[in-house]
């Protein structure tokens, strides 16, 4: 482990500094949430070089992630690297809600890297004024027959196969 710390509340970028290290991968692990829920998210992840300039991310890739929300929203892990703070990696919440710890592993495809790491997210930079429940309300609905959460535009329930009325 290189650094252990906590995110302050708020939606501003937060710097986590550590001694120079060599490596190819970084694992960001969430052990808890500020809201005491089972979720983790990252809006953007950057590493800064020795002059605090952002390192190019073109060759970075997500190696593994413990879970990501793919049904109720676009919570793909790759969103943490897309330069769009409105898209986020978010752990599952639509069909399952696994508890902490959560982790995302990034491959930097470079050998020597970083003196500073800047992380925007991990419950720090998220959609303003919206929680997962609020987002779910706008993109999903409950099946009138089985009450399972389904996409708002679904014509048939994927759980009980009930044909849905508009």
Query: Which pLDDT score is estimated for 50?
Result: 66
Mean pLDDT by 10 residues, the chain (166 residues): 70 70 79 88 79 77 93 92 88 92 83 43 39 54 81 80 82
Query: Which pLDDT score is estimated for 129?
Result: 43
Name which of 128, 107, 108, 11 is nearest 54 in CA terms: 108
Query: Which pLDDT score is estimated for 84?
Result: 87
Query: Which pLDDT score is estimated for 165?
Result: 80
Query: Which pLDDT score is estimated for 67?
Result: 95
d(C-alpha 81, C-alpha 106), whole Å: 9
Query: Which pLDDT score is estimated for 20?
Result: 67
Q: Taking the domains of the chain in order of start, what are their residue ranges? A: 14-127, 129-166
- Count Cβ atoms below 10 Å from residue 33 Cβ, excluding itself: 18
Per-position DSSP letters for the chain, written without gaps between them: ------PPSSSS-EEEE---EE-SEEEEEE---TTSSS--EEEEEEEE-TTSPBPP-TT-EEEEES--B-SSS-B-GGGGGSS-TTS-EE---SS--PPSPEEEEEE---SEE-SEEEEEESSSS--TT--HHHHHHHHEEE-TTT--EEETT-SB-TTT-PBPP-
Query: Model pTM?
Result: 0.64
């Amino acid at each position: 482990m290189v650094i252990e710390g906590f995110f302050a509340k708020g939606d501003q970028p937060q710097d986590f500094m550590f001694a120079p290290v060599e490596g190819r991968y970084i694992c960001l692990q969430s052990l808890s949430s500020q809201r005491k829920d089972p979720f983790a998210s990252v809006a953007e992840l950057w590493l800064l070089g020795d002059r605090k300039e952002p390192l190019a991310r073109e060759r970075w890739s997500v190696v593994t992630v413990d879970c990501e929300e793919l049904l109720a929203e676009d919570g793909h892990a790759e969103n943490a690297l897309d330069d769009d703070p409105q898209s986020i990696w978010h752990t599952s919440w639509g069909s399952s809600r696994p508890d902490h710890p959560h982790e995302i592993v990034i491959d930097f495809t470079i050998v020597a890297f970083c003196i500073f790491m800047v992380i925007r997210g991990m419950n720090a930079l998220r959609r303003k004024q919206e929680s997962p429940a609020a987002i779910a309300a706008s993109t999903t609905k409950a099946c009138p027959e089985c009450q399972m959460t389904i996409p708002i535009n679904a014509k048939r329930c994927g759980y009980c196969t009930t044909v849905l009325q508009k």
